[in-house]
């Protein structure tokens, strides 16, 4: 972590949750072409148009398209000129996540609580108004160029945020694919940076480290990584943090860091209530997934015991299964959704399990390595 991430350290450990979060409000991506990105996410992932901001609405330097599916809101923002922070972000990182926005009851308190604990301010509490009411935004920096915005929208009835107008296109309709909400969002950080960022989430945001994986858990023959899962008090917001580990060849996290030009969001996990239906739909719309060898399914029943789903459709789609003490989960990972091998998505259905699919790490990372190999980056 850069030394600026924690400007000062507070020795005080609050007993109550000083940063109550109501969940993920939205995820904003800085992209090279927001109009086309929004179309891709509508067409391929089943998002519905929600709101637009750009020159027509008085915003001169960017265009932003907000899309929604159930409790998921994504925003795609592109710069209109070749210079400025958005253009620099896109040039450096390619398309990627800029903002992980978190819903709060009090954005002013969220900013004060985090910045007094050493969080570096990105946006002081800012009141935005339009005819639909008021939103208060504030924000702090996290790893890389990524930021957390705190969104207080109790007094707002508009489609998204002040500055945006409702957006729809009656001539292009797509059905949703059953994606519900952000289950977790994973950050890749540099060598020896996992623990400093764990400390950041503990000290600045009051999160707890609920799970840890070392390189023995997550290593294949060639590459390795380490991971710690950070969760807020009520468990609505979970941020696993990965760092590369030494292996015979290049870690997948290292490949990400090379191509993203630094730390950033590796994947966003999207929850569904019916993963077979969702993945069948996504695949028919052209979303590409990582696949595991058929042998994975031969040992599956033995490894995870009885599950409600029949194995055949899971095998056909490449859906992975893992069990913990509380239940099981089904998951699958897309290939990167841009040409750089950076951001991808996970589709996850939880059936009691609160873990992250440790039993699948080996099969999954071998699948990732096969792709890395094809790119010549292993």
- Kindly state the tokens that stand for 149: 């915005």
- Burial annotation 188-202 (CB, 10 A radius, 16+ → b, else e): bbbeebbebbbbbbe
Closer to Fe ion by CB, 255 or 346: give it: 346
Residues touching Fe ion, count (CB under 5 A) = 2
Closer to Fe ion by CB, 104 or 269: give it: 269
Residues 21-60, mask of contacts with Fe ion (x by CB under 5 A): ----------------------------------------
Closer to Fe ion by CB, 48 or 180: give it: 180
Closer to Fe ion by CB, 358 or 370: give it: 358
Q: Which stretch binds Fe ion (CB under 5 A): 204-212, 263-271, 283-291, 295-303?
A: 263-271
DSSP string, 191-252: TT-HHHHHHHHHHTT--EEEEEE-TTTTB-SS-EEEEEEEE-TTSS-EEEEEEEE--SS--H
The kind and range of the H/E element at 320 are strand 320-324
Residues 292-331, mask of contacts with Fe ion (x by CB under 5 A): ----------------------------------------
Q: Which stretch binds Fe ion (CB under 5 A): 228-236, 249-257, 342-350, 358-366?
A: 342-350
Residues 110/138, Cβ–Cβ less than 8 Å: yes
3-state helix vs strand vs coil in the chain, percent to 5: 25, 35, 40
CB of 79 to Fe ion, least distance (A): 30
Contact positions with Fe ion (CB under 5 A) in 142-201 = none
In the numeric block, the tokens 């998002």 are attached to 47
Closer to Fe ion by CB, 338 or 346: give it: 346
Closer to Fe ion by CB, 103 or 350: give it: 350
Name which position in 152, 338, 346, 369 contacts Fe ion (CB under 5 A).
346
Neighbouring C-alpha atoms within 13 Å toward the C-beta of 114:
34
Distance CA 337, CA 157 (A): 32
- Kindly state the tokens that stand for 186: 């994973």
Closer to Fe ion by CB, 50 or 182: give it: 182
Q: Which stretch binds Fe ion (CB under 5 A): 35-43, 68-76, 222-230, 340-348?
A: 340-348
CB of 361 to Fe ion, least distance (A): 10
> Count of CB atoms within 10 A of residue 4's CB?
9
Question: Does 269 engage in binding with Fe ion (CB under 5 A)?
Answer: yes
Binding site for Fe ion (CB under 5 A): 269, 346
């Amino acid at each position: 972590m850069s030394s600026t991430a924690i400007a000062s350290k507070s020795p005080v450990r609050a007993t109550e949750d000083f940063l109550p979060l109501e969940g993920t409000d939205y995820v904003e991506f800085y992209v090279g072409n927001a109009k086309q990105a929004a179309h891709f996410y509508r067409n391929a992932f089943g998002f519905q148009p929600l709101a637009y901001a750009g020159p027509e609405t008085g915003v001169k330097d960017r265009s932003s398209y907000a899309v929604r599916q159930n409790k998921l809101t994504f925003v795609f923002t592109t710069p209109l000129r070749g210079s400025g922070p958005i253009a620099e972000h896109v040039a450096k990182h390619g398309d990627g996540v800029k903002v992980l926005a978190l819903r709060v009851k009090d954005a002013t308190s969220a900013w004060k609580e985090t910045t007094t604990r050493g969080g570096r301010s990105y946006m002081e509490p800012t009141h935005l108004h339009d005819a639909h009411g008021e939103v208060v935004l504030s924000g702090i920096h996290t790893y890389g160029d990524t930021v957390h915005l705190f969104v207080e929208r109790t007094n707002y009835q508009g489609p998204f945020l002040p500055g945006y107008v409702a957006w729809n296109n009656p001539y292009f309709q797509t059905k949703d694919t059953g994606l519900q909400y952000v289950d977790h969002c994973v950050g890749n950080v540099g060598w020896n940076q996992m623990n400093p960022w764990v400390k950041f989430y503990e000290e600045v945001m009051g999160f707890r480290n609920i799970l840890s994986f070392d390189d023995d858990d997550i290593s294949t023959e060639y590459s390795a990584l380490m991971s710690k899962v950070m969760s807020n008090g009520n468990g609505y917001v979970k941020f696993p943090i990965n760092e590369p580990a030494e292996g015979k060849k290049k870690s997948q996290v290292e490949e990400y860091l090379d191509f993203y030009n630094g730390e950033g969001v590796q994947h966003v996990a999207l929850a569904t209530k019916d993963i077979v239906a969702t993945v069948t739909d996504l695949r028919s719309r052209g979303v590409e997934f990582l696949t595991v060898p058929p042998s994975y399914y031969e040992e599956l029943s033995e490894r995870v015991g009885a599950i409600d789903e029949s194995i055949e459709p899971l095998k056909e789609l490449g859906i992975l299964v893992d069990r913990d003490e509380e239940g099981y989960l089904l998951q699958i990972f897309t290939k990167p959704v841009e040409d750089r091998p950076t951001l991808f998505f996970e589709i996850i259905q939880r059936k009691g399990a609160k873990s992250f699919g440790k039993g699948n790490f080996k099969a999954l990372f071998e699948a990732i390595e096969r792709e890395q190999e094809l790119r010549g980056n292993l």
